[in-house]
Amino acid sequence: GDAIRYWELTADISQNPVSWMDYLGSRTFFIQWLNYIPSKVFGLGFMFGNILYAFVSFLGIREIYLVAVKYCPETSSKWIQIGWLGLFFLPNLHFWSAGVGKEALLVLGMGWAVKGMGDLPRHWIFLALGVLLSFWVRPIAGVVLGGVAWVYLLFQPGISLPAKSAVSILAVAVGILALNRVFVSMHLEEYSLEAVLQFISGQQEFLRGFGAGSEVNMEEYGWGQKLWAFFFRPFWHEVRDFWDLAAVVENTLAFVLLIGLVLGQVYAWFKKRRVPVPGVFYSGLAVMVLMGVVYALTLNNLGIMVRMKSTYMVFFYLIGGYGWVSFYHIRANSVK
């Protein structure tokens, strides 16, 4: 339903648009502005839109893959290599980004950001474009990605202190403006914790109005339960149909990879070794966790949670895979 309305430019007409530039804005307005030329001017059908957006998300996934493949764990077992690279083919990422929607553009934004962070300062323009695209599609996503990218840049040894200082001044100034834009989009009457809590309560009440079968009582959960629900539910006892089953299988694998992430790090520390995870993946993991906190506060529907986390989970999977491979190698070397 959302995809059709995005393509037909009817998802949000509160700006009373008449011409192409009347659609310009962030979030849904931005998607409709992008779709205006192919949909309204050229009259291309909805199927073309799905193919177009699938190609856009493919470009983003490709950029993440091209960085990740450089760090593919060296191992004598081809099955471990196939399994590690197979993490890019888990269905949730592709299901939500293969059609007209925000996820395809967010994946492209993450791909550009990963390309930029993977080769700073040479590809800084891609990092900037990735943050900017993410912001226009979903402002809070752009703010989080931009903040993580700024911290990542500060830890890069190949960038001079004056350059880091200049970027930091710019990042703080732009960040303040971006946060103000986020608060405006939340329609807060004042900038206070109470106002934010009221927004969160209102958002959950709005979603509750749909009467979805996968609604959960997030307001009654503690932080551990909130994050568990967002990252790992639905689980086996909550399967109702094929789509639930598909989500449950991937969530189960995510839990196994979580064990690998923890086990690999702990075992490496015990054996005084290190898990060779590239910093750009830790940045992706940081974005995933921070967005998870945002969504755990504002969502109460497992179906929407599965969709919202689809853009970021690949980084968690990759680091979890590194954990298992490192555990395997350290253990094998210890036996020898």
Structure confidence by residue, pLDDT tens digits, 28-70: 999 999 999 999 999 999 999 999 999 999 999 999 999 988 8
Instruction: Return the pLDDT at 154.
Output: 92
Kindly report the average pLDDT of the chain as a whole number. Answer: 88
Share in percent of the chain as helix, strand, coil (round to 5)? 75, 0, 25
Asked whether the beta carbons of 103 and 307 are under 8 A apart, the reply is yes
Residues 177-191, mean pLDDT to the nearest whole number = 81
**Minimal CA–CA distance to 138: which of 307, 300, 254?**
307
Instruction: Return the pLDDT at 73.
Output: 67
- Is the pLDDT at 237 greater than 90, yes or no? no
pLDDT band (50, 70, 90) for residue 335: low
Residues 74-87, mean pLDDT to the nearest whole number = 77
Instruction: Return the pLDDT at 291.
Output: 95
Instruction: Return the pLDDT at 149.
Output: 95
Instruction: Return the pLDDT at 79.
Output: 80
pTM of this prediction exceeds 0.85: yes
Residues 247-275, mean pLDDT to the nearest whole number = 85
Instruction: Return the pLDDT at 131.
Output: 96
Report the alpha-carbon distance of residue 153 to residue 315 in Å, rounded. 18
What percent of the chain is predicted at pLDDT more than 90? 55
Strongest mean pLDDT among 8-22, 135-149, 268-282:
135-149
Asked whether the beta carbons of 146 and 178 are under 8 A apart, the reply is yes
CA-only gyration radius of the chain, Å: 21
How many CA atoms lie less than 13 Å away from 16 in the CB half-sphere?
0
- Is the pLDDT at 218 greater than 60, yes or no? yes
Residues 215-226, mean pLDDT to the nearest whole number = 87
Between the CA atoms of 324, 327, 330 and 333, what dihedral angle is there, to the nearest 10 degrees? Answer: -80
Q: Which residues contact 329 (CB under 8 A, 6 or more apart)?
A: 73, 75
Q: 43-52, 148-157, 201-210, 218-227: which has the minimum mean pLDDT?
A: 201-210
pLDDT band (50, 70, 90) for residue 15: confident
**Minimal CA–CA distance to 264: which of 282, 250, 281, 277?**
277
Instruction: Return the pLDDT at 184.
Output: 82
Instruction: Return the pLDDT at 96.
Output: 94
